[in-house]
Amino acid sequence: MIKNIIEVNKLERIYSNGIVKTYALKDVSLSIKPGEFVAIMGPSGSGKSTLLHQLGLLDTPTNGSIIIDNEDVSKLTDKQKTTFRLEKLGYVFQSYNLLPELNVIENVFLTSMAKGLDPKEYNLRAKDILEKVGLKDRLYYYPSELSGGQQQRVSIARALVNKPKILFADEPTANLDSDSSQDIIDLFKKLNKEINQTIVMVTHELEEGKKADRIIWIKDGILDKSVKV
Amino acid sequence: MNKKDIKLMFFLAYKNIIKSKSTFIVIVAVMAMSFLSITFFSAIIDGLSYEFEESMIDGQTGHLMIEPSNEESFIFNSDRLEKNISKIPGVIGVSSRLESNILITYKNEELGAPVFFIDPIDEQKVSNFHESLIEGSFLSYKDTSEIIIGSDLLEQYAPIDDTKKRFNLRIGDNIILTFNNGYKKEYKIKGIFKTGSKFNDDKILINKEEYFSIFNKEDISHKILVKLPSRGLEKEYIQKIEALGIIEQINPWETKIGMIKQFVGSLQITNQITGFIGLLTAFATIYIIIFINVTNKRKQIGILKAIGIKKKIILGSYIIQSFIYGFVGVIFGNIIMQILLALLASYPLSMPIGDVVPLLTIGKLLTTSFILILASIVAGFFPSRKASNDNILDAIFGG
Ligand SMILES: Nc1ncnc2c1ncn2[C@@H]1O[C@H](COP(=O)(O)OP(=O)(O)OP(=O)(O)O)[C@@H](O)[C@H]1O
Ligand SMILES: [Mg+2]
């Protein structure tokens, strides 16, 4: 049996603004295997993003534990989490979140640069991955000069450049037209197949969810069911 | 902090600045203006102070002033003393004076005025009266019935709105002077001078020989003025003169300009206060601009953190940016300032006391530059630290 890449145990995330307490996540336990392509689905406000943020170390759960790649990440300091994100995780956001001051290739190689690769190597890597996402003729464009779909592909390239253990994506197609959406999901599928990339993706579209290996359904912050596609 | 972190900091700072040129230009312009506003005003004040002092040195005190010893009202054997002092290497000029008050009578009008009895030749080496003639010519050693008169005693040179009583005199007119021993004599106006300083322009200059004949004295003086190559050498020359074995008092000009000293002192205090306020204003302005700039970058900072860029790298890149704003601003400020100074050196500001050339010491330039650069670093530090400590999700998604 393969070891899980993610193991979540009794995860809880409460938002409290003084008086009101919102249970965004309640007693969530789940596990994800390396190389798995998992979709997280559920109604709006059910806690999908919240879950992804906990798994992606962008937020701190109020309770429970998360083990990623054999490391109990709930125990890490902020600084260690930053390094962990750099070394092992990649993110694709709904609104791309590219850095407007950097051109395409710079956006992509930034994290490789941060890891200390030499310029030759990070340029090569960035070009490589940008070619994979079909943007090799847009290397020196700035984000503002690209379409939404192109920007999202840049952000996927950025997420993948350091060969992360897990790629997280929160509704990566929500801002795109159906053709571009199709492209992105196909790209995910391809990456999952070809390089065995573990992907955890939040989506609203059942069509997209069906492309994954498994759909984790979530409702009112509670795990509803986990369905193999 | 290692090399790759520093490289990344500079990379991010560089890209940020390059991609927001207008922000860069605005901040640099504000920095440069702040620099100018702080240094320029203070340079004018310093130039003004300098000019005040210079007019006193030129007209009244020389660099050194030798005065009678405590018990005496005259310096005796003045000629020999002058000769000995003028032999000291480096001394530019030595001249003795006698001073008195006289009564001027012209037609039906009378007016009191201070007189300097001078040696027409020696005087030219220590004071600037001969260079300040606006009409006529200076006294020669033979001129015993001629005088030189200051413009402040004359109606035609009176400032507008000044109602002080003055004479309507021209070159060549005759006036009668009554000395304080009662002696009266008619003199012809040979020259009119205007130094620009009220402290000098109310004087009348008469050949020293006249004093000797009117008061029946010889080889005495009230003051011996010594002109040195420049300011700052007073102590050194006082020692040299003392070494001649003289019993008279030797005073540097600073101790002889009482009123002016107070005035300049007040100006300097004003200068320090406005300088300080200027710095505060500059600091506040820079702080606000950089603060807004960094606050606008909140989302970018959040993204950087999310993808795994260390906080100190982000902070460092913003501090570098602030430093560059400060540095470039100060450089521009310095360049503009130097151009202004060069312009004003060739075309001095004409002020009532005379031409004023702004004075700026390297020390002041450096301090102001340093403080402004520091201010921009501090202004960059706090907001960026706050932004880089922000919750990642709040920063990215707003909250
Ligand atoms: N910063 C926050 N402060 C307070 N409550 C929050 C915060 N973020 C999320 N919530 C609450 O947590 C719950 C889950 O939110 P979450 O964003 O995870 O939903 P979601 O499943 O991603 O919804 P959507 O499909 O609309 O993106 C919601 O009730 C939401 O109001
Ligand atoms: Mg969501």
Confidence at residue B137, expressed as pLDDT on a 0 to 100 scale? 94
Ligand 1 atom with the smallest distance to the CA of A17 is 4
Domain assignment present for residue B140? The answer is yes
| B43 and B89 housed in the same domain | no
Measuring CA to CA, which residue among B359, B396, B390, B84 is closest to residue B243? B84
Higher pLDDT, B352 or B350: B350
pLDDT at B1 over 80: no
| B232 and B355 housed in the same domain | no
pLDDT at B76 over 70: yes
Nearest CA to ligand 1 atom 3: A15
pLDDT tens digits along A126-181: 999 999 999 999 999 999 999 999 999 999 999 999 999 999 999 999 999 999 99
Q: What is the DSSP string of B307-372?
A: TT--HHHHHHHHHHHHHHHHHHHHHHHHHHHHHHHHHHHHS-EEETTEEE-----HHHHHHHHHHH
The answer to whether the beta carbons of residues B252 and B340 sit under 8 Å apart is: no
Measured between CB atoms, which of B2, B16, B308 is closest to A82?
B308
**B8 to A93: CB separation less than 8 angstroms, yes or no:** no
Cα–Cα distance measured from residue A69 to residue B277, given in angstroms and rounded to the nearest whole number: 58
Helix B362-389 vs helix B311-346: angle between axes, to the nearest 10 degrees?
Answer: 150
CA torsion through residues A187, A188, A193, A196, sign = positive
| B45 and B165 housed in the same domain | no
What stretch of H or E contains B207? Answer: strand B204-207
What stretch of H or E contains B73? Answer: none
Domain stop point among B207, B223, B247: B247
- ipTM, two decimals: 0.95
φ, ψ at B94 (rounded to 5°):
-135, 130
Test the B interface: residue of A15, A51, A86, A97 with most B CBs within 10 Å: A97
**Length of chain B in terms of residues written:** 399
pLDDT level of residue B251 (50, 70, 90 thresholds): very high
Cα–Cα distance measured from residue B119 to residue B82, given in angstroms and rounded to the nearest whole number: 12
pTM listed for this prediction: 0.81
Mean pLDDT computed over A208-219: 96
H-only helix segments in A28-147:
48-55, 78-88, 104-115, 119-132
Burial class (CB in 10 A: 0-12, 13-18, 19+), A206: exposed
**A101 to B20: CB separation less than 8 angstroms, yes or no:** yes
Nearest CA to ligand 1 atom 14: A47
Give B-chain residues touching A106 at CB under 8 angstroms: 15
pLDDT at A39 over 70: yes
Tell me how far CA of residue B349 lies from CA of A100, A202, B388, in angstroms: 50, 73, 50
Quote the ligand 1 centre to B396 CA distance (angstroms). Answer: 15
Domain assignment present for residue B62? The answer is no
Greatest distance between any 2 Cα atoms in chain A: 54
Domain assignment present for residue B253? The answer is no
Cα–Cα distance measured from residue B37 to residue B60, given in angstroms and rounded to the nearest whole number: 34
Own/partner long-range contacts of A115-118 (Cβ < 8 Å, ≥24 apart): A115/A86, A115/A87, A115/A162, A115/B4, A116/B2, A116/B4
pLDDT at B73 over 70: yes
Q: Report the number of distinct structural domains present in chain B.
A: 2
Mean pLDDT computed over A37-61: 96
Give B-chain residues touching A98 at CB under 8 angstroms: 303
Chain A CA closest to residue B2: A116
Q: What SS3 state is found at B28?
A: helix
pLDDT tens digits along A183-192: 999 999 999 9
| B86 and B228 housed in the same domain | yes
Cα–Cα distance measured from residue A144 to residue A138, given in angstroms and rounded to the nearest whole number: 12
| B213 and B286 housed in the same domain | no
pLDDT tens digits along A79-110: 999 999 999 999 999 999 999 999 999 999 99
Nearest CA to ligand 1 atom 10: A24
Task: Give the amino acid at B212.
Answer: F
CATH number of A6-222: 3.40.50.300
| B87 and B217 housed in the same domain | yes
**A101 to B18: CB separation less than 8 angstroms, yes or no:** yes
| B14 and B113 housed in the same domain | no
Q: What SS3 state is found at B220?
A: strand
Q: What is the mean pLDDT of chain A?
A: 94
Establish whether residue A198 lines the binding site of ligand 1, counting it when its CB lies within 6 angstroms of any ligand atom: no
Mean pLDDT computed over B350-363: 83
pLDDT tens digits along B129-165: 999 999 999 999 999 999 999 999 999 998 888 888 8
Inform me whether the C-beta atom of residue B1 falls under 8 Å from chain A C-beta atoms.
Answer: no
Establish whether residue A15 lines the binding site of ligand 1, counting it when its CB lies within 6 angstroms of any ligand atom: yes
Mean pLDDT computed over B76-99: 93
Q: What is the mean pLDDT of chain B?
A: 91
Confidence at residue B237, expressed as pLDDT on a 0 to 100 scale? 94
Domain ranges of chain A: 6-222
| B91 and B239 housed in the same domain | yes
pLDDT level of residue B260 (50, 70, 90 thresholds): confident
As a whole-number percent, the residues of chain A with pLDDT over 70 amount to 99
Domain assignment present for residue B60? The answer is no
Chain A CA closest to residue B311: A79
Domain assignment present for residue B391? The answer is yes
Residue A120 C-alpha, separation from nearest chain B C-alpha, in angstroms: 14
Cα–Cα distance measured from residue B235 to residue B239, given in angstroms and rounded to the nearest whole number: 6
Domain assignment present for residue B252? The answer is no
Residue A1 C-alpha, separation from nearest chain B C-alpha, in angstroms: 32
Quote the ligand 1 centre to A15 CA distance (angstroms). Answer: 9
Name residues with Cβ closer than 5 Å to ligand 2, which is an ion. A 49
Q: Tell me the Cα Rg of chain B.
A: 31
pLDDT level of residue A1 (50, 70, 90 thresholds): low
Quote the ligand 1 centre to B270 CA distance (angstroms). Answer: 60
Tokens coding B151? 């413009």
The strand pairing partners of B177, in sequence order, are: B104, B185
| B357 and B236 housed in the same domain | no
Give A-chain residues touching B315 at CB under 8 angstroms: none
Give B-chain residues touching A158 at CB under 8 angstroms: 307
pLDDT tens digits along B227-238: 999 999 999 999
| B232 and B341 housed in the same domain | no
φ, ψ at B385 (rounded to 5°):
-65, -40
Confidence at residue B293, expressed as pLDDT on a 0 to 100 scale? 84
Tokens coding B272? 């320090």
**B393 to A53: CB separation less than 8 angstroms, yes or no:** yes
The answer to whether the beta carbons of residues B97 and B221 sit under 8 Å apart is: yes
* Core vs surface per residue B202-223: b (16+ CB within 10 A) or e: ebbbbbbbbbeebbeeeebbbb
| B237 and B285 housed in the same domain | no
Domain assignment present for residue B185? The answer is yes
Domain ranges, residue B388: 3-55+260-398
pLDDT at B259 over 60: yes
pLDDT level of residue A2 (50, 70, 90 thresholds): low
| B173 and B226 housed in the same domain | yes
Other C-beta atoms within 10 Å of A19: how many? 5
pLDDT tens digits along B279-314: 888 888 878 888 888 888 999 999 999 999 999 999
Establish whether residue A107 lines the binding site of ligand 1, counting it when its CB lies within 6 angstroms of any ligand atom: no
Task: Give the amino acid at B356.
Answer: V
Confidence at residue A167, expressed as pLDDT on a 0 to 100 scale? 97
pLDDT at B324 over 60: yes
Cα–Cα distance measured from residue A188 to residue A67, given in angstroms and rounded to the nearest whole number: 24
Mean pLDDT computed over B215-220: 92
Tokens coding B197? 């300083």
**A111 to B303: CB separation less than 8 angstroms, yes or no:** no
Q: Are strands B93-106 and B109-118 parallel, antiparallel or unpaired?
A: antiparallel
Test the B interface: residue of A93, A99, A141, A156 with most B CBs within 10 Å: A99
Establish whether residue A182 lines the binding site of ligand 1, counting it when its CB lies within 6 angstroms of any ligand atom: no
